[in-house]
Amino acid sequence: MRFSVIAVPLIAAFVFGWGLYKKVDILDAFTEGARENLKTALGLLPTLALLMLGVGMFRASGALEALTELLSPVTEVLGFPKECLPLTVLRPVSGSGALAVLKNILAENGPDSFAGRVASVLMGSTETTFYTIAVYFGATRVKKSRHALPAALAGDMTAFLLSSLAVRLFLGFTAR
């Protein structure tokens, strides 16, 4: 685990050090990058408001719990925490929706619980598959994306199956 503690500071130090060595205007570069990303973050808000509404109502009504309960025999066999199920459904479809669900999972189970860790790994190691495929082929004249989506979804399935295994392997957490 030492690596993960030191990796981020090391990268930051390296980037700043290299920037100084290359005589980059650090203040100007940093603020420009920060400004761009702040705009992006703010742009997420309207969509997130809708997603939080839908996800929030779904959870508050108890329908979400009923759904995960229904699917829990399947996840139990795979050793996958059932709290993370909603995330696997939303992740390939909507990035901000998945963020909203992740926030809930972390708040309810604790970020360092088994479910909290698996949800974090799942979120960090996958992408918004449907959106990506649509955007990438939408930019070209290609109409038949052929097996792009099945292959990408095979990758997502791998991530779902491996995330709980990886958490057990590296963080040694078997009990919930």
C-alpha span between 57 and 60 (Å, rounded): 5
Residue 124: closest CA among 174, 74, 66, 166: 166
Q: State which residue, 62 or 76, has the beta carbon closest to another protein.
A: 62
At closest approach, how far in Å is the CB of 73 from another protein? 21
Number of residues that bind another protein (CB under 8 A): 104
What are the phi and psi torsion angles at 11 (to 5°)? Answer: -65, -45
C-alpha span between 96 and 55 (Å, rounded): 11
Q: State which residue, 16 or 78, has the beta carbon closest to another protein.
A: 16
Under the criterion CB under 8 A, does residue 172 sit at the interface with another protein?
Answer: no
Tokens 């696997």 label which residue? 88
C-alpha span between 54 and 94 (Å, rounded): 13
Q: State which residue, 6 or 74, has the beta carbon closest to another protein.
A: 6
Under the criterion CB under 8 A, does residue 111 sit at the interface with another protein?
Answer: yes
Report the residue from 84, 85, 100, 115 that binds another protein according to the rule CB under 8 A.
100
Under the criterion CB under 8 A, does residue 78 sit at the interface with another protein?
Answer: no
State CA 91 to chain mean position distance: 7
Under the criterion CB under 8 A, does residue 69 sit at the interface with another protein?
Answer: no
C-alpha span between 88 and 159 (Å, rounded): 10
Burial 96-105 (b: 16+ CB within 10 A, else e): bbbbbbbebb
Under the criterion CB under 8 A, does residue 74 sit at the interface with another protein?
Answer: no
Under the criterion CB under 8 A, does residue 99 sit at the interface with another protein?
Answer: yes
Report the residue from 70, 76, 78, 136 that binds another protein according to the rule CB under 8 A.
136
Under the criterion CB under 8 A, does residue 123 sit at the interface with another protein?
Answer: yes
CB-based contact 105:117 (threshold 8 Å): no
Report the residue from 85, 146, 172, 176 that binds another protein according to the rule CB under 8 A.
146
* Binding to another protein, residues 31-50 (CB under 8 A): 31-38, 40-42, 44-45, 48-50
